[in-house]
Structure 1
Amino acid sequence: MKAIWSLCLVACLYFGWSGNAVAGELSQRLASFPQWEKLTSVQPAVGDLAYPEWMGGSWQVTSTLVDLVAPLAPDIVTPGFEANRQQLNQPVSFLVRFIKENLPVAQLKILPQIDDGKSKTFIADRAFNSLNLARAYLGDTAVLSVKVDPDSPNRQITLLRGERQLVSIVTARATETTSDGKFITTEVFQQLFKGGSRPYFNSVESTTSYHKLSTSNPAIEADQVTAVYLSPQDPDYFTAGSRPVALYRYRLEFSPI
């Protein structure tokens, strides 16, 4: 069960596109940690996420869990929460990359100077990034592969040893650019873990604020909060309501390769 929950957390990075959030909502959300409720202003996930040009390229990322909270404890505590406490302040490193891609203008609302029906922009290499991330946390032999649906960048399957798999579907997102240049994304996932004694469902939200630094190592830092919500299949679903049952806060540092 610890492996399931670790994988549910690490599967939440580097997915795709959404519309803009209400001005300042996402930055205020990070500032209000851990007093969170479910987001209601996100938009349905369509297409892919266009990242700022300064995020393009390959990066060595160091991810450090700096805080974790179980807001509804002791009444409701997610499986693996206490085990994940062992990761506190333990840096984990992995490779990611953001690549150029041609996207239709309709998917690039936040980008200027579009004049040819298509424009080059940077998107996450989702399969590459998620595979490296999952193996960094779970081990090289535990994670066999990551497959992205060729018809939808919002659906991803992580194949594990023992004929287990995690299906992650991005259902909604929002983005925000602050006056001081931070790029903030929120992504909401529905997740299904298959291969155990019974299928396990949950809902996860990942909110990340990226900030370009004046230094080269690291060149980008990010503040990320992952919130876990119960699914309707869980017997404690109505007790939890719109509140998360677990919150994890990470510090991310990107160094160029």
Structure 2
Amino acid sequence: MKLTLTIRNICNFCLIIIFLLGWNQQANAGELSERLNHFPQWEKLTSVQAAKGDLVYPEWMAGTWEVKSTLVDLAAPLAPDIVTPGFEGNRRQLNQPVSFLVRFVKEQLLQEEGVRSPTVGGTPSPITSLKLIPKTVSTNLVADRAFNSLNLARSYLGDKAVLSVKVDPDSPNRQITFLRGERQLVSIVTARATETTPDGKFITSEVFQQLFKGGSRPYLNSVESTTAYHKLSTSSPAIEADQVTAVYLSPQDPDYFAAGSRPVALYRYRLEFFPH
């Protein structure tokens, strides 16, 4: 398989992977919703803050869902001078839904619980001490990143092409997708912001770096994904989302300075969540 073809296929499923990753940083009121309204006139998002911890989702997203993702629009603002690998091929994905399972679960944190040490000779020890015993507690609602990303990757690339997904145990914002042929896709969330609108929409915007390794040369770019989730009064679907993903060139790209703060590709998706 040629490197260019591999990159094109990888880009196809990377475009919405960010909604499966991610401490919430509040954006300025209305900024993210306005951003979605101005598609495709976008510049690089500047109000995000460094990503810390995991992205916390609202309780109404708890559970396992079948997601139907449909590419409904795309744009290459700098074409024909600058076009990303796979953009033209992605036109074939327009209005072609792709389905996969995702789930959102309670974050598991270890909390130390103090227990008094045993007595000495049947009487209380003159020097008592506390023994700290780890206790698992459930807290915030987060995405099951490994499960979600594996299902998403296989829905685009096929079961045999995707071997596994590993999330960094020290950081929920870094994960590696292992592909056939000793290839890897490294995704790192670097910044994010969230917003809750008066009509109940939960909007996230995240910036991440993605590095494809394993070919004759690595391929690196920067991606921003802004998604507005909306709980519906129906169950089929129960949640819908409007998502725009913007691809920016990395500083290593020879066209980086020509592109400036503008995205080189924009993709708009409709996401529908059905209870599973």
For residue 218 of structure 2, the aligned residue among 179, 186, 199 is 199
The 3-state SS of whatever aligns with 2:81 is coil
Distance 1:20 1:34, change over 3 A: same
| 2:58 is aligned with 1:62 | no
Question: Which residue is equivalent to 1:180?
Answer: 199
Q: Which piece of structure 1 moves more, 154-163 or 9-18? A: 9-18
* 1:36-185 equivalent positions in 2, closer than 5 A: 36-102=42-108, 120-185=139-204
| 2:214 is aligned with 1:208 | no
Larger radius of gyration: 2
Please tell me whether the aligned partners of residues 18 and 172 of structure 1 are also in contact (alpha carbons under 8 angstroms).
no
Question: Which residue is equivalent to 1:115?
Answer: none
Please tell me whether the aligned partners of residues 103 and 121 of structure 1 are also in contact (alpha carbons under 8 angstroms).
no
The 3-state SS of whatever aligns with 2:19 is coil
Structure 1 residue 102: deviation in Å?
Answer: 4.6
Distance in 1, Cα, partners of 2:55 & 2:81 = 37
Structure 1 residue 14: deviation in Å?
Answer: 1.3
Report how many aligned residue pairs link the two structures. Answer: 244
Unaligned runs of 5+ in 1: 105-117
The normalised TM-score by structure 1 is 0.92
Question: Which residue is equivalent to 1:243?
Answer: 262
Structure 1 residue 103: deviation in Å?
Answer: 5.9
| 2:252 is aligned with 1:233 | yes
Q: Which piece of structure 1 moves more, 177-186 or 132-141? A: 132-141
Structure 1 residue 18: deviation in Å?
Answer: 3.0
CA displacement 1:171-206 (0-9 Å, x = unmatched): 000000000000000110011110011011100001
Please tell me whether the aligned partners of residues 18 and 43 of structure 1 are also in contact (alpha carbons under 8 angstroms).
no
Distance in 1, Cα, partners of 2:217 & 2:26 = 37
Distance 1:38 1:209, change over 3 A: same
Distance in 1, Cα, partners of 2:248 & 2:105 = 31
Distance in 1, Cα, partners of 2:21 & 2:35 = 20
Kindly provide the amino acid, as one letter, of the partner of residue 225 in structure 2.
S
Distance in 2, Cα, partners of 1:205 & 1:229 = 8
Kindly provide the amino acid, as one letter, of the partner of residue 55 in structure 1.
M
Please tell me whether the aligned partners of residues 11 and 168 of structure 1 are also in contact (alpha carbons under 8 angstroms).
no
CA displacement 1:132-170 (0-9 Å, x = unmatched): 011111111111111000000000000000100010100
| 2:34 is aligned with 1:15 | no
Distance in 2, Cα, partners of 1:83 & 1:226 = 16
Distance in 2, Cα, partners of 1:10 & 1:195 = 22
